[in-house]
Chain A
Amino acid sequence: MPTFVYMTRCDGCGQCVDICPSDIMHIDKTLRRAYNIEPNMCWECYSCVKACPHHAIDVRGYADFAPLGHSVRVHRDEEKGTIAWRIKFRNGKKDMELLAPITTKPWGTGFPDLSAAAAPGGDMVKGENLYNEPKYVAMNDNALATLESNGLEIKEGVYY
């Protein structure tokens, strides 16, 4: 079930607008609070639910892990490096909490040094792992298709 926003808790900070991979969390033009502009396109990745500093975004979970009418809420505590879930059934009696690490290293310390890694060889391109790469990526010609190479440009901002 797609995300929805509790308007009284949202302060319009834009964290969800920034993080939504489908670009469907936007700011309402009248109330300047976040809302899901296209619920059909939401695939419940929970990115906005976890990123919201006020827990103003909620999602109703599917019936395959709890009977409908339940509440599933999450708190992602980055400073502790944990993610906590609470699933409460509609009868109010079954109330479960889960806690797990989201990272085992402090933030910003785990970036791989890609410049130090060896460049991929020609045999890797022809290997079985990349056999199904789409042709438009043009890996075999050693020329990656880009916006520039196709004479395109990207406009800044969100237009709707």
Chain B
Amino acid sequence: MFMTNPFDALTSLISADVMQMYIIVMAVLVAGGTILDMMHKKSAKYFALDTAKNDKNAKRAVGAGEKAGLAVAVVANEVLTSGEFANTKRRISHLLTMYGFILFVASSALMIFECDTIATTTLAQLWHIGAIMLCIGGYWFWFFIRVDVNSEGAKWYKLVRADIFIVSLFTTATFALIWSYLQSGGEHGAVADMGWTTLFFALFLVSNTTLFASVLWSKFAHMFFKPAAAFQKRVAHADGGNLNLPGDFDLSSPEVQARFPDIPEYMGKNPENMGAGIRREAPNHY
């Protein structure tokens, strides 16, 4: 199962051209959905206004080189390692889902477009690994981590519109794996039960199309606007405006102690680390 290209057996039913066209249509739907989402939420206008506001608060100019450095930091911290999550479980689940999705989508596209540079068995393995990673991250998030269940006390089966993205994501991966398993069930590579295989292929197709066609209504577009927001926040910190937040003071510094005499009076000249405070426990006491 893990070494077989699941789209191979499909070519007898659907031609490679149709499958390639489907991939292109999905890509167009993502691009179109993102643009419509941006227009609907006025995200670009909001970002421009916010940038102008931050520039007004800035205490110094941030050069192009420094901005490039900040962009690299955003890629390394927020994009590649999901460093913005305060909750470690959410971060791990997000990384599993994100890299699983990338592996799954990229290997699907490469297999359908019959890429010769990477061996089909390798691509098939990546496709299955991606789907398994998506399932682990997705179900973990769905049953335990998402805030509705963890903090709001809602039942796992309570569906809301925000769930379009995650539900279509893990159902796509689940149906894909079941479909691939059913294809490999027969002897000598033959499909064991055509009825069940077709049913799970249809379910896979429906969830996959929902995932890519619902960008306007789901949170799919977060993968584009989150890095932009993270970059804007880093620039605001670098230019000294700091989003109007107070500075980060070194409590042992004599200047800070002279400016804020309460600190040495109550906490001494070298205040100790006071611990994690309310963040000692995860927020689940709704």
Whether A100 sits at the interface, judged by CB under 8 Å, is yes
Contact residues, B261-286 vs A (CB, 8 A):
262-263, 266-267, 271-280, 283-286
Determine the chain B residues whose CB is within 8 A of the CB of A120 once the complex forms.
none
Q: How far is the CB of B13 from chain A (nearest CB, A)?
A: 37
Residue of A nearest to B160 (CB): A29
Q: How many residues of B contact A (CB 8 A)?
A: 51
Determine the chain B residues whose CB is within 8 A of the CB of A156 once the complex forms.
153
- A12 CA to B283 CA in the complex, in Å? 11
With A17-B151, A55-B245 as contacts: A104 and B267 at CB distance below 8 Å: yes
With A13-B283, A17-B286, A98-B260 as contacts: A158 and B147 at CB distance below 8 Å: no
Q: Are A80 and B86 in contact (CB under 8 A)?
A: no
- A14 CA to B263 CA in the complex, in Å? 31
Q: Are B251 and A80 in contact (CB under 8 A)?
A: yes
Q: Are B273 and A106 in contact (CB under 8 A)?
A: yes
From A17, A71, A97, contact of B147 by CB (8 A): A17
Q: Are B243 and A32 in contact (CB under 8 A)?
A: no
Q: Are B152 and A158 in contact (CB under 8 A)?
A: yes
Q: Are A99 and B219 in contact (CB under 8 A)?
A: no
With A29-B161, A156-B153 as contacts: A106 and B272 at CB distance below 8 Å: yes
Mask: chain B, 134-150; 1 = CB below 8 Å from A; 0 = not = 00000000000011101
Q: Are A13 and B162 in contact (CB under 8 A)?
A: no
Mask: chain A, 58-88; 1 = CB below 8 Å from B; 0 = not = 0000000000000101111011111011101
Mask: chain A, 92-104; 1 = CB below 8 Å from B; 0 = not = 1000011111011
Contact residues, B221-280 vs A (CB, 8 A):
225-226, 229, 233, 243-247, 249, 251, 256, 259-260, 262-263, 266-267, 271-280
Determine the chain B residues whose CB is within 8 A of the CB of A81 once the complex forms.
267, 271, 274
A-to-B contact residues, CB < 8 Å: 8-9, 11-15, 17-19, 26-32, 51, 53-55, 71, 73-76, 78-82, 84-86, 88, 92, 97-101, 103-108, 156-158
5 contacts between A and B (CB under 8 A): A13-B87, A17-B286, A18-B286, A103-B274, A105-B274
